Amino acid sequence: MLWLFPTAFLILLGAVPLILLLNSLRPRGPRLPVTALFLLEKVLRERPMGRRLGWLWHRNLPLILQLLAALAIITALAGPALLGVGAGARDWVVVLDQSASMKATGASGVRFDAAREELLRRIDGLGANDRMMIIGAAAEPVVVQPFTRDRARLRRTAGELDATDAEAPVKEAVLLAHTFLKRQGPHRVVVITDGAFKGIEELPWATSYLELAQVEGGADNVGILGFQFRRVPGEADEYEAMVLVQNFTERPAHAPLVVTVADRVVSRSLLSLGPSAREVLIYGVPGPLRGRATALLAIDDDLQTDNRAYLSFPDERPTRVLYVGPGNPYLERLLRYFPHVTLARIDRIPEDRVTEQVAAYDVVMLDRVPAPPVERGNFILMGTVPEGLDLRVAGVTPRPVLASAVSAHPLAAGVRLDGLVVRDALTLVPEGGVTLAGSESGPLIHAVEKGDLKALVFAFDLTRSDLPFRVSFPLLVRNAFSWFRPASREFPASQVAAGLPFVADVGVDEEQLVFVSPSGETVPVQTRERTGTYSDTEEVGFYQFRGTRGDGEFAVNLFSEEESRIRPSYRAEPAEAATAAAESAPGTRFDLWPVLVVLALALLLAECVVVCRTRRSLLPLWLRIPAAAVLVLALVNPRMLAEEPELDVVMAVDLSHSVGEEARARAADVLERAQGLVNPKVRLGLFSFARRPQWEFLPTDELPVSDLPPPPERDATDLAAAIQGALGELSEGRESRIMLISDANENRGSVERVLPMLRSHGVAVWPYPVSLAEGRNEVYLSEFAVPSVVDSGETFEIKAALTSAGASSANVSLLRDGRVIRSTRRELAPGANWLSFTDSVEQRGTHTYELMVEAEAGADVLAENNLLQGIVSVKGPSRILYLHGPDAARRFMAEALQAQGYEVVEKTPARANLTLPELSGFDLLVLDNVPAYQLSQVKMERIERFVRDLGGGLIVLGGTRSYGAGGYYRTPLEQTLPVEMRPPVRMELPHVALLFVVDKSGSMGGGPFGTTKLDLAKAATMASAELLNPTDEVGILAFDSNWEWVVPFRQAGGGESIAEDVARLTSDGGTDLLKAMVEGHRALAAEEAAIKHVLVLSDGLTEKADLVEQVTRMARERITVSTVSIGGDADRRLMTQLAQGGQGRSYATVDPRTIPQIFTTETLLISRDLLVEKTVTPVALGVSGPMRGLTGQPLPQILGYVLTHVKPGAEVHLRVGEDPLLVSWRYGLGQVYAFTSDVSGRWGRHWVQWPEFSRWAAQTARLSVRNVSDHRLRTDFVREGETMSAVVDLFSPSGRPLNHLKLQGLLTRADETLQEETFRQVAPGRYQTRFATPSRGINLLTVQHPAVVPPPVPPVVSSLSMGSAASAVAFTVPFIVPFSQEYREMNANQDLLERLARETGGKVLRADTLAEDLKGLFTADPDAAGSVRGIWWALAAAGLGVFLLDLALRAFLHVRRVR
Amino acid sequence: MAQAEAQHEAHRFLEPDFLARLDKLRLVAKRLSWGVARGEHPTIRKGYSLEFSDFRKYSHGDDLRYVDWNVYGRLERLLLKVFTAEEEITVYLLLDASLSMGHGDPAKLEFAKNVAAALGYIGLKTHDRVGAMGFAGDVGTQLPPARTRGQILSLFNFLEELSPAGRTDLEASMKTFTRLYPRPGLVVLFSDLLDVAGCRAGLEELARKRHDVLLVHVLGEGENRLDPDGDVSLVDVESDRERRVFLDGDLAERFHREVEAYFDSTRRFCESQAMDYRRTTSHVPFDDFVLRYLTQDRRPG
């Protein structure tokens, strides 16, 4: 009753002075003559005080009662709910786990029964004002009961619920439940579950708003987790059956397993499963498979659902063929022998019936008849060419001679056409497609594939050639049929997991399918787009469906490890329950008006009694009777008297990315218009949604100002959750409507599931379509298909679909590995436009294809959806990426490897991007004298991951710019290598005086915070100081336009104080290097070190005068100078001159992050004898490995090497003196070899001239190169909304499915984070894993079969429990996650919106008639049931009025009487 | 109102009906002897003639002088001759004519007048001297005591003309009375005794002057109680003083108790002074009252 505030309330409060006035108007009673007044006065005088007060009370009792009664009514009218008195109204959202594991039976009964009892108990325990909502967590979370206080209703709902056979996302349901919780208050989500669901540990049970009510019962289970048949590839009628059984108990289990096909037992075995063991059982089954297959595990465990598995083998629908022509005996005879083919024959096909015929038949053969234009369908054309194919007839060629034939095309498999004789043929000019056989004048047999159109074109009359007499003819036709209808016969049985929708393919003219569930429930399903989707598969067993064209059957199985593991993975701790019990005092809404009205009524009656006792005249009191009667009536709160129905409109605004700001603008517009339309009878609520709904305000008649903050996670649209969100806050007794501002492009959940609820609650949906495109044209890439694996040199097809809302044109560019290889301009028709490209790649490895669309100006809105990527893996020999310094003259190693047959890609570090997808195309990476500072930190990290996670090999060859001398110290590269750069500390006399001259001028301060050049210089000097021996002298001189000793020369041992001093440096001022150099010269000259070195870090933008002379002077005094020029704008020439003059080295870097490496390199170089340049003979340790077969003879000498130190766990193969020369270890999945000498003319002169050099190189490469599986494999990635599943089919080289493998997957996401996955065998030779869909981009999945022996793993990798051994790695597959579904469809799904409106009784709002439509929306349906409302307040007000009238009349009568 | 009533009943006392009732009373009085406390005040009674009135059986202790020996001679029964003493006493009829006496239904004064008329008539018939006075603040109109034939008419006229006025001051009135009529006699005092100052002093004055007092305490019906009626304005009939009170049951009860206590104390006072106290309400028929008074044994104990 907020509406009464404040004006009406104040007016009503006027009743109080009115009563006082009436009371004072009334005279002090009648004049009564008395004779003994003096006695009375005596009595009055003698009265005690207490009695006097009592008398005062008594005397004014009626007035007091009147005032109290009036106040009670007024307060009642004022909406006393605001007082917040009364029992606390709490919102309870109960999530009831309906997953299959709830069917587990224990000693105490079925879990779900216990859960239902718990629910009933909680319903009984509800406070008077508590509301409860029930969310059933079945295959999808569904609000089965919106908020209500009606306990009977709740109890009824609880009784109707039952456990399903499906895997239930309870966590999702809990998250959904939380969207219904008000933010403040003692509201709570209660999860009634057995605690056996995924992600239970992640939920915040310790919080006060989430409570776990755990039911017990049963723990032992042995279940079938998989059951599938697969045709053995290459074998026509031979199948393998797989049954996956897991023991979820802690003790061994024994049970007979029976597999039957069509009631025939194909296998009967006694299973013995160890504790927690999982077993894959494979049976060979001869075909053909018909009817039903079941696997039955005869065990009496606590969960029965998973002891049976079902499969259904549908009868294949025959291929319907229409022959149009004069008759072709060869063809007709051939087709009769084809199984599953029905042939119809007509003489000619009328043009207007082409579409009809194409829809009715699977294949249409046109033989020498004038062909109508075709757009879609499957055609075999003989001697005729219709319009629509990219073929032109240019006459007739007599006696064409076969010139070329293709064998790679699927149509041509096994077909040999040499010597084909054709009398005459049409001269065809192809504009697309593949010519299977052609003469010099054009194609003879041609295949065209264009979107939905497939055609095999014979340019000649079959009867006028010898083709029908050839063996190839039936092959060609059969190939054509399987090309037309690529039926997935590999897995003959159709089944879905419980809870997942089953999609039945239907003919184009079928409009309805009738599904019959195992329990006999019949559900008709409207088909859409040639499919009928049945989603209510929450029961395991066989489902049948009937259509006009035939019947079908499919099986539903549980097959969920999560559900079969019925032992709870989490237990509520008592402490948590205690926390949950501690509750804050509620301060919430409670309708006090009935109490107040009762109070008023009582007061009025009391007053009546008092007045009656003291008055003789009862006349005015007659009015009291109607007043009391009216109040009693108010208490009854009659509802049917409501004149106008009442309405709640909930505005649900889609703020997902696909609509975004448009929807917000519309919502703001509607809100503004709605201001004038809402009133207490018509209220408006508002919430926004994307992935989840988020209430802005509940239905109210006083619209608060709202700027609609977007809900989190806008990358998905879940209409079902949104509608459930609105349903959750339904007000009882009010008509409710949902105004849905959305494009209805749902990509999560399904509105289908909530439609029944909408209907049963009578909630109409009024959609207001909105779309980002908003009528404008939108062009996007809807499909992009590339083959995942091709042979080197194989020509393959790339198909793409460009969807455009309207006619438009666009530039389409196809890029391979970032380079444009095709670019065309396409006219786009509305709808999908299919593009096709052919390409072939020689290079082995992965190649990224990208398709980019640039629509003409104004024809496109979103850019996000104009690019799709695909990855093609090209099979071929092992590939090696060979990185070498830019100045390397000859790459002997590369030459040797190439000679060994490896494909070597040589690059300089700067030109190699070294992205993981790029690297994944190589099997070995060779770094030949590559300094770390030429590789960025990122690149080195990727090299590490290439080795560790992708199993790539790494060989590092030394040289003067490698290892310590190459700045490997403290880099990921050093981490990867089996040797480390920093030698153990040697305590010696000081012999190094190192001076850092660091530029701190303003130009050094650029860059992001923490990574400015100066910051990096600081870090570098600190790291360098650490490298020095503690007794060495180090000094830091900073300069700008002046110089400053940051660290005067001191012993390097005081590292910490140096760090402090360095940290003080700030960048400022100009640049004058010369002054600093002069000062540095002075200081160094005073030092007595053997080696005096200056390292200048600057961008070189300084006065050049005399600098070179200065360094030359210093060099003469044996003070060497090295320079580091930093930044793209650095004066590198000057810096190089300085280094030359100072007899030092010059470094240049653009990336300031390499400064530390340069500094440490310099430090190591000058402080250590890192480069050992002497002639030594390597000593081989061990006879295996890279030196196998090479140790019997003397090894060639080397002339030098870089000093390194062996890490623990590494294997040394070659050694020079005490120092390692060739060391290897396994790092993660990969093998790393470090060769510390060079393979060039400087140190390895003898080594490369060694006759066995190429053998050594090959052996080293072979040992380090990634293991490539010789299995035949196929991988497929299927995106299933939030998750992706990777399916790997593995076959042995002989084509048999590989079973019983424990495949491990390592997923490297596009953002380079790692994730481990375990594959589960789901069918013979098929393994599957599911993971959360990675972010957009190229992701890598490395699949390997882990071996038993864990290898020595560097600490960083050991956190990954990845076993790996020599034979472990199978392969790495890149896959692409395209842009979010959110961006796919930009136009509103008008169909769905209209359907929603139609099926719920709403109306689609239109922008042009918005004002009127809104009026309609905000006008309650007068006939709507339940639109009534209590009118107690009117009655209560009337009661007050009558009462006041009564008082007035009384006063009037008194006045009269006295007068 | 009282005025109008008086006008209306101008010659009420001469109406045959009234007179008949008086006669009847006289006959009763004749038989029974009127006289107050005969033998009690022998010294002040001078009986000259003994008028035989009746016989009664002798009982032990009776004065043998009064045995009718003639009868004994004839009937051998001892019968006592009963004589009516012919005493000449003065009867003063004092009527409270204050305003409060004008109240009651019928008015207390009217009742008092009727009783006074009856007693006066009886007194005159039995040859007593009868005088009458009205008083309020002081003695007002007077009818000096006389035993003449015309005295009865004078009494009637006097009573006729008596109308309520003024406030009661019993003490002053009695003092004036005793000063004017020092000779002791039978004082019949008609009053509601509602004197703010109390009635004790006035009554004492009468006792002191050796008057034989019959106090006829006249009250209106229900005058001793108030009905709870919430807010009322109580107006004093004598002083016109108005008092607004909320009259609840408690107050009414306390008032009633106070009034009763006041009357009770008066009665006890009267008893202590050997005064005859008669309390009546105005609606009792005067002849019943008189009759009861005359016949009942007035001596308690």
User: In this structure, what CATH number is given to the domain that contains residue A1289?
Assistant: 2.60.40.1930
Residue A226, domain CATH: 2.60.40.10
A848 to each of A839, A924, A1202, A1373, how far by Cα in Å? Answer: 12, 20, 39, 12
Test mutation, B199, B238, B254, chain A, max A CBs within 10 A? B254
Give the nearest partner residue to A37 out of B231, B236, B262, using CB atoms: B236
Residue A1109 within any structural domain of the chain:
yes
A35: which chain B residues are within 8 Å (Cβ-Cβ)? 100, 103, 192, 194, 220, 223, 236-238
pLDDT reading at B85 higher than 70: no
Residue A972 within any structural domain of the chain:
yes
Res A1365: pLDDT: 37
Average pLDDT for consecutive 10-residue bins of chain A (1459 residues)? 56 79 68 77 76 71 81 74 53 88 85 90 81 86 83 88 86 82 78 84 78 83 88 73 88 89 87 86 82 88 87 76 86 78 82 77 86 82 83 85 74 78 86 82 85 85 85 83 69 79 73 86 78 82 82 85 81 53 44 78 81 62 76 71 69 81 82 81 84 81 76 78 79 79 79 78 84 71 76 74 81 87 84 78 79 79 77 78 81 86 86 83 88 84 87 88 81 88 57 81 64 72 73 81 81 65 68 83 82 82 78 85 80 84 82 76 72 85 79 85 86 88 87 89 86 86 76 74 80 77 82 82 86 81 63 38 42 77 70 82 82 81 55 77 79 61
Q: Nearest chain A residue to B100 by CA: give it.
A: A35
- Among A316, A351, A383, where does a domain finish? A316
- Among A454, A484, A514, where does a domain finish? A484
How many structural domains is chain A composed of?
A: 10
A616 min Cα distance to partner chain B (Å): 8
A407 to each of A389, A476, A794, how far by Cα in Å? Answer: 22, 11, 11
Res B6: pLDDT: 44
Q: Is A1009 on the interface with B (CB under 8 A)?
A: no
The packing angle between helices A593-614 and A49-77, to 10°, is 140
Strand partners, A813: A823, A852
Give the nearest partner residue to A615 out of B230, B234, B235, using CB atoms: B230
One domain for residues A344 and A436: yes
One domain for residues A1080 and A1009: yes
Q: Which DSSP letter does residue A314 get?
A: P
Residue A947, domain CATH: 3.40.50.880
Res A1235: pLDDT: 92
Q: Is B235 on the interface with A (CB under 8 A)?
A: yes
One domain for residues A763 and A784: no
Q: Is A204 on the interface with B (CB under 8 A)?
A: no
Secondary structure of residue A312 in the 3-state scheme: strand
Count how many Cα atoms sit within 13 Å of the Cα of residue A548 in the half-sphere of its side chain.
9
Do A32 and B234 count as a contact with CB atoms less than 8 A apart? Answer: yes
B196: which chain A residues are within 8 Å (Cβ-Cβ)? 38
Q: Is B63 on the interface with A (CB under 8 A)?
A: no
Residue A471 within any structural domain of the chain:
yes
Give the nearest partner residue to B248 out of A27, A34, A55, using CB atoms: A55
Test mutation, B105, B192, B219, B245, chain A, max A CBs within 10 A? B245
Do B234 and A40 count as a contact with CB atoms less than 8 A apart? Answer: yes
8 Å CB contact between A1403 and A1416: yes
Give the nearest partner residue to B237 out of A29, A35, A58, using CB atoms: A35
Residue A1031 within any structural domain of the chain:
yes
Give the nearest partner residue to B244 out of A28, A41, A51, using CB atoms: A28
A1449 min Cα distance to partner chain B (Å): 17
One domain for residues A226 and A301: yes
Do A28 and B247 count as a contact with CB atoms less than 8 A apart? Answer: no
B192: which chain A residues are within 8 Å (Cβ-Cβ)? 35
Strand partners, A999: A1039
Q: Is A183 on the interface with B (CB under 8 A)?
A: no
Residue A321 within any structural domain of the chain:
no
One domain for residues A1220 and A1326: no
Do A28 and B242 count as a contact with CB atoms less than 8 A apart? Answer: no
Give the nearest partner residue to A30 out of B233, B254, B259, using CB atoms: B233
ipTM of the complex: 0.75
A694 to each of A144, A589, A710, A714, A765, how far by Cα in Å? Answer: 19, 22, 9, 12, 18
Cα gap A1149→A1123, rounded to integer Å: 11
Tens-digit pLDDT profile for residues A18-37: 878 877 766 556 677 777 77
Sequence-ordered list of residues with C-beta below 8 angstroms from that of A1250, at least 6 positions apart, any chain: A1195, A1196, A1256
Res B140: pLDDT: 83
Q: Is A33 on the interface with B (CB under 8 A)?
A: yes
| Residue corresponding to tokens 């390194």 | A1204
One domain for residues A866 and A883: no
A680 min Cα distance to partner chain B (Å): 46
B103: which chain A residues are within 8 Å (Cβ-Cβ)? 33, 35
Q: Nearest chain A residue to B233 by CA: give it.
A: A31
Burial class (CB in 10 A: 0-12, 13-18, 19+), A236: exposed
One domain for residues A535 and A604: no
Q: What is the mean pLDDT of residues B105-129?
A: 82
Cα gap A933→A913, rounded to integer Å: 15
Phi/psi at A870 (5° precision): -145, 155
Q: Is B231 on the interface with A (CB under 8 A)?
A: yes
Res A1357: pLDDT: 36
Q: What are the structural domains of chain B?
A: 2-33+88-295 (3.40.50.410), 47-86 (no CATH)
Domain extent at residue A1002: 992-1151+1162-1167
Residue A724 within any structural domain of the chain:
no
Token pair for residue A997?
């001259």
Size of interface A-B (CB pairs under 8 A): 103
Give the nearest partner residue to A37 out of B192, B234, B262, using CB atoms: B234
Do B254 and A47 count as a contact with CB atoms less than 8 A apart? Answer: yes
B226: which chain A residues are within 8 Å (Cβ-Cβ)? 32, 34, 40
B254 min Cα distance to partner chain A (Å): 7
Do A43 and B254 count as a contact with CB atoms less than 8 A apart? Answer: yes
Do A58 and B241 count as a contact with CB atoms less than 8 A apart? Answer: no
B110 min Cα distance to partner chain A (Å): 16
B118 min Cα distance to partner chain A (Å): 26
A39: which chain B residues are within 8 Å (Cβ-Cβ)? 255, 258-259, 262
B127 min Cα distance to partner chain A (Å): 37
Q: Nearest chain A residue to B228 by CA: give it.
A: A614
One domain for residues A398 and A519: no
- Among A1140, A1167, A1194, where does a domain finish? A1167
A33: which chain B residues are within 8 Å (Cβ-Cβ)? 103, 234-237
Give the nearest partner residue to B231 out of A29, A35, A38, using CB atoms: A29
Give the nearest partner residue to A59 out of B196, B220, B246, using CB atoms: B246
One domain for residues A235 and A295: yes
What is the β-pairing status of strands A992-999 and A953-957? unpaired
Residue A563 within any structural domain of the chain:
no
Q: Nearest chain A residue to B241 by CA: give it.
A: A37
One domain for residues A270 and A397: no
Do A55 and B250 count as a contact with CB atoms less than 8 A apart? Answer: yes
Cα gap A348→A734, rounded to integer Å: 64
B247: which chain A residues are within 8 Å (Cβ-Cβ)? 29
Do A28 and B248 count as a contact with CB atoms less than 8 A apart? Answer: no
Do A614 and B228 count as a contact with CB atoms less than 8 A apart? Answer: yes
B194 min Cα distance to partner chain A (Å): 6
Q: Is B136 on the interface with A (CB under 8 A)?
A: no
One domain for residues A1122 and A1049: yes
Burial class (CB in 10 A: 0-12, 13-18, 19+), A6: exposed
Cα gap B29→B294, rounded to integer Å: 7
Residue A562 within any structural domain of the chain:
no
One domain for residues A977 and A1007: no
Q: Nearest chain B residue to A56 by CA: give it.
A: B246
Sequence-ordered list of residues with C-beta below 8 angstroms from that of A759, at least 6 positions apart, any chain: A1399, A1400
Q: Nearest chain A residue to B101 by CA: give it.
A: A35
Q: How many other CB atoms are there within 10 angstroms of residue A574's CB atom? A: 8
What is the β-pairing status of strands A992-999 and A253-261? unpaired
